[in-house]
Structure 1
Amino acid sequence: MTRKFHLAFIFNFTPDDWQGPFGTGGAPWDGAFHTDVAKALERACFDYVIVEDKLMVPESYGGSSEAALKQAMVVPKHDPVPLAVAMGVATSRLGIVATLSTLAYPPFMTARLASTMDSMLGGRFGWNIVTSAEDLAARNFGMDKLPPRDVRYEMADEYVDVVKQLFASWDADAVVLDREKGIYADHTKVRPVHFQGKYFSVRGPLNTVPSPQHRPAFVQAGASPRGRAFAARNADSVIAIAGGVQGMKEFRDDVRRHAEEIGRDPDDVKVLFCVTPVLGETEQDARDKQARMVSSPEFIQDILAQVSALTEIDFAQFALDEPLPYRLTTNGEQGTLDKFQQWGSGKALRDLVIDGAGGLVSSVDLVGTPDQVAERMGEVMAEVGGDGFMLTTPLLRLNRRYIAEVTDGLVPALQRRGLTRSVYTQGNTLRENLAEF
C-alpha cells in the first residue's frame, strides 16, 4: 500500500540567483518574489514553507564580512514576519512558518505575535523555534557570547513552556460577544499565568483573542541528542539532517522514542528530512547540471563562507587539498558541521565541498529526471518509515526555474505515484494538514 508523505520548503530569503541566467539579477526587495514562490508551493499542495532567519552579518570566513557580502551568503535578508504576512495573504491553504529566535524575542512578544499571525492567516501559522547559534547574533542583543548549547536548550525548554501557558491563558470560548448583556469576553475565562522560572518571568495573560489553532504549529531543527529530545517534546514537525537512508531511519526512530517516553503520540511528530533535488530532462542532464554547479569558480568559496557562517569556524584557515587536521566542534550548528566534515573519511576539504554539491543539508542524493527522483523519494520514505521531506535549494540560491522544476515537474511525478497530496482535504489549519497522514 502506497503511503503519502509530507512536503515542506525552506525559503532562504537572501537575494535570488542574482548571477545565474535564470535569476532576476537581484529580485526587488518588495516581497513579490516571495509571494510568487508561496503561491507555486500552494499549487503543489505543500504542507508549509519556512521563512528562515539569521540575526547577524557573518564575519567568520577569513575574519571578515567580505565573502558573505560579496556573494550575498546569509546576508542581506528581510525580517521574516512581514514576509510571512505577505506570503500568507497571497495564499489560502499553505502553512506559513516564520523563524523566531528565543534569543531575540521575549516570550510574551513571541506568543502575542504568533497568535496574531495565526488569526490573520486563518490557522495556518507556524513558529520555527530557534535558539540562534552565533556569538555575533548574541552581540546584537546585549550579550558577549551565547550560552553553551545545553544551556540554550534548557532556556528554550522554559521559554516554550511559558509561551504555551500564554496561549492557554484564554479559554477557547472566552470571547462570547453577548450584545444583550454587553459582554465581549468572559473575564473568568482569561487568566494571568504568573510564570516564574529560572530564566523567564511573565505575568500574562495574553492580550490577543484565541487564534484558530489556539497555538500555532511548532517546527524545530536539532541534530544533537539534546536537540532531538527538545524537538520530540515540543515540535509538531522536525527539520532533520541525516547521512543516508540508515541515518534517516535512526534519526526518526530516535525522535519517536523520545516522544513516546514523555507520553506523546510519536505520530504527532512529523520528521521531515532535508533534501536538495537536482532535476533535469534526462539523468545525464541533471548530472551535468550538478557538475557545472560544483565547478563554478565561486563555488568553493561560497560553500566555505556559508559553512563558516553557520558554524562560526573560519574554514579559510585550512588547506583546500588536505583533510581537516582534527575533528571540529562548535557551539553553533553542530549538525551542519558534522554533515559537512565527514570526519574519518580522509577526504580533502575541496572534496568535502564538492560532496555537498551545494546541498549542505541534503540527507540523501536526489539527481535525475522528475520521475527518477520521485521514485527514489518513495523508496527512501518506505525504508525510513515516514514522514516526508523538507526541500532546500542548490547552493542556497533560489530562482523561479527551480521552483517550476519542483512544483511542475517533481511534485506531479510524486502525485501520480500517490506519494503526496493532490488537494488539501483535511482542514484549513497547518496542524490539521500535518495530521492528515
Structure 2
Amino acid sequence: MRDRRFHLGWFTYFGQNAWNDPLGSGSEPWTGDLHLDLARAMERACFDYMLIEDTLSIPAVYKGSRETYLKHAIMVPKQDPVPLAAILGTATRNLGLVITLSTLAYKPFMLARLIATLDHMTRGRFGWNIVTTAEHASALNLGLTELPPRQLRYDMADEYVELVERLIGTWEPGAVVRDAATDTYADASKVHALNFEGRWYSSSGPLTTTPPPQGRPAYIQAGGSPRGRLFAATHADSVIASTTGIAGMKSYRDDIRRLAAGAGRNPDDIKVLSLIAPVVAETRAQAQEQYERALASPGYTERALALFSSFTDIDFSQFDLDAPLPPLTTNAEQGALDKFCQTQPGGSPSPKTLRQLVRDSGTTGALDLVGTPDDVADMMGDAMAQVGGDGFLIATPFHRLTRVYIDSICDGLVPALQRRGLARSAYTTTTLRQTLREF
C-alpha cells in the first residue's frame, strides 16, 4: 500500500517580511530572529526543508522605476542568505536548510567549496536551490552586459553543475584517514587534480574542502519552461512546481517524472512540491474574512503588479486592468509568467482581465486553500490523492510572514495533517537527501 504521507517545505526570503506589522520583521530585520522562530516551528512540525529565496538586484521594472519597490519593500531589501543558513543550522538538528545560489554569481570552484562547507556545518542537511538568474538588472550587477538567453543559461548550468560535482569528487571516499600512528591526515593518492576544461567553465582542482556528509548537498530547482523542466528533471532531488489547479499539478509532476526517466533517473527519487499559500483560521468565516481583507487593502493591486513585474521583467503598469492580457513571453521566469497569466494549453492567454488575474494571484498557490486547519488538511489530502504525490511548498500569502501565520501553519494545519496520517510526525533520517527519499 502506498504511503499516504507527503512532503512539506516552506518558501521564504531573508528580508523585510511584513515590515509594518509588529509581528513581522520590522523591529528585527537583519538579526534572523523571525527566521529562527520559523525554523524551530518547522522542525517541531517535522517539515522537510526551509527554502530561502534570493535575487541580486533591486527591481525597476514596474513603471520603469525602483520607486514602488522601495516604497513597499517589495523584493528589497534582502540580505545574503548564506550566513543565515549557518545560523539556522546551529539552532536545528533535523530540518533541511536550502538557500538560493546563482550559477551566474559564483565561480564553480567557490560555489562547490561553499556548499560543501555548509553541508558539513549542518551535518548533512544543506540544499542548494539552483538558479541561473532571470533578471536583466542582476546580470548588470554581476558585470555582464546583458542577461544570456534562457536556453543558453540552462546549457551553461548543466556544465556548471557537472563541474561542481566533479570538484566535490576530487576527494575519493576514504581519502581522510586521520592516522595518528603515521601522522597522516589525508591519503594524497586519493585526492586528485581535475583539470576540467569545458565550453564555459574550467578548474584545475582539487577542491580544498573534504567530501560533504551527503556526498553532495541536495539539489532543489524550479523549472517552469520546457528547458527548465528538463534541467530540473536531470539534476534535482526536489522540484518546485508553480502551477494552477489539480490538473496543472498532476500534468507538471507527470512531465517531470517522464523527463527524469528519459535522463536515466528513477522518477521516485525526485519530489515535486507544489507551491501553496494556505489562509488558516479558527473558523471558515474568519479565514475568508482574512483573505478578503488582504485583497482589499490599500495598494494591494499595485504591490501585486509590481511583484509579478519583477518576476517576469514585464511592466504590467502598461496594461488596462479591466481588459485581458495579450500573449506574453519573457527571457526571465516564463513559468511564473504563465502561472500569473493563467496561460491556456497551446499558449493562448486567459480570457480573464488583469484585475481578475491579480485577485487570483492573492495566495500565489496552486489551490484555493482558505478555511480551518481541518478544512485545508482535507483539501490538501484530496489534491495529493489525485496528483499522486509528492507534497507542498508553503509560501506566505500576500508575502507577509508573521509569527501568527507561522503558528497557524506549524501548530494548526500540520497537526491536522498528522492526525490524518498525511504528514510526518517524527524524523527518522539524518540527512536532507534521506529525508526526501523517506517516502
TM range, smaller chain = over 0.9
Residue 331 of structure 2 corresponds to: 331
Match of 1:307 in 2: 308
How far apart are 1:187 and its partner, in Å?
0.8
Report which stretch shifted further, 392-401 or 315-324: 315-324
Which runs of at least 4 in structure 1 moved beyond 4 Å after TM superposition? none
How far residue 24 of structure 1 moved from its aligned partner, in angstroms, is 5.0
Residue in 2 aligned with 1:372?
375
Cα RMSD (Å): 1.1
Q: How far apart in 1 are the matches of 2:37 and 2:24?
A: 14
Instruction: For residue 269 of structure 1, report the CA deviation from its aligned partner.
Output: 0.5
1: CA distance, partners of 2:150 / 2:224: 12
Deviation at 1:3, TM superposition (A): 0.9
Query: Any conservation in 1 of the 2:170–2:194 contact (CA below 8 Å)?
Result: yes
The residue number in structure 1 matching 2:180 is 179
Shift of 1:320: 1.6
Cα contact 1:15–1:26 (8 A) shared by 2: no
Percent identity, aligned pairs only, is 55
Name the SS for the 1:205 alignment partner: coil
What's the TM-score, normalizing by structure 2?
Answer: 0.97
* Preserved contact between residue 114 and residue 125 of structure 1 (Cα < 8 Å): yes
Equivalent in the alignment of 1:403: 406
What is the CA-CA distance between 1:428 and the residue it aligns to? 1.0
- Tell me if the contact between 2:381 and 2:422 (Cα under 8 Å) persists in the aligned partners: yes
Q: 1:416 Cα shift?
A: 0.3
Aligned to 1:393: 396
For residues 257-278 of structure 1, the C-alpha deviation after alignment (integer angstroms, 9 at most, x for no partner) is 1111121111101100000101
Q: Does 1:5 align with 2:6?
A: yes
1:197 corresponding residue in structure 2: 198
Look up the match of 1:347.
Answer: 352
Report SS of the residue matched to 2:199.
coil
CA distance in 2 between counterparts of 1:26 and 1:224 reads 39
After superposition, the C-alpha distances for 1:348-384 in whole angstroms (9 at most, x for unaligned) are: 2111111111x33x11111110001001101111111
- Alpha-carbon spacing, 1:154–1:185, altered in 2? closer, same or farther (3 Å): same
Query: So what's the TM-score if we normalise by structure 1?
Result: 0.97
- The match for 1:37 is 38
Name 1:384's counterpart in structure 2: 387
Which residue pairs with 1:249 in the alignment? 250
* CA apart distance, 1:26: 4.3
Q: What SS does the aligned partner of 1:389 have? A: strand
Match for 1:416 among 406, 416, 419?
419
Q: What SS does the aligned partner of 2:398 have?
A: helix
- Structure 1 residues 141 and 378 mapped into 2: Cα distance closer, same or farther (>3 Å)? same
Unmatched 5+ stretches in structure 2 = 344-348
Counterpart-to-counterpart distance in 1, 2:36 and 2:61 = 32
Q: How does 1:219-258 map to 2 (within 5 A)?
A: 219-258=220-259
Give 2:136's aligned residue: 135
- Shift of the alpha carbon at 1:14? 2.2
Paired with 1:297 and 1:215, the residues of 2 have a C-alpha distance of 46
SS at match of 2:211: coil
Secondary structure of the structure 2 residue equivalent to 1:99: strand
The reply to whether residue 430 of structure 1 matches residue 432 of structure 2 is yes
- State the 1:345 CA deviation: 2.7
Report how many residues are paired.
433
Q: What is the rounded CA distance, in whole Å, between the counterparts of 1:27 and 1:321 in structure 2? A: 39
1:243 Cα deviation after fit: 1.6
Q: Counterpart amino acid of 2:366?
A: S
Contact 2:24 2:34 survives alignment (8 Å): no
**How much has 1:21 moved relative to structure 2?**
6.0
Map of 2:262 onto structure 1: 261
The aligned counterpart of 2:64 is 63
Q: Secondary structure at the match of 2:63?
A: helix
Distance 2:115 2:195 in 1: 20
**Cα distance in 1, alignment partners of residues 237 and 221 from structure 2:** 8
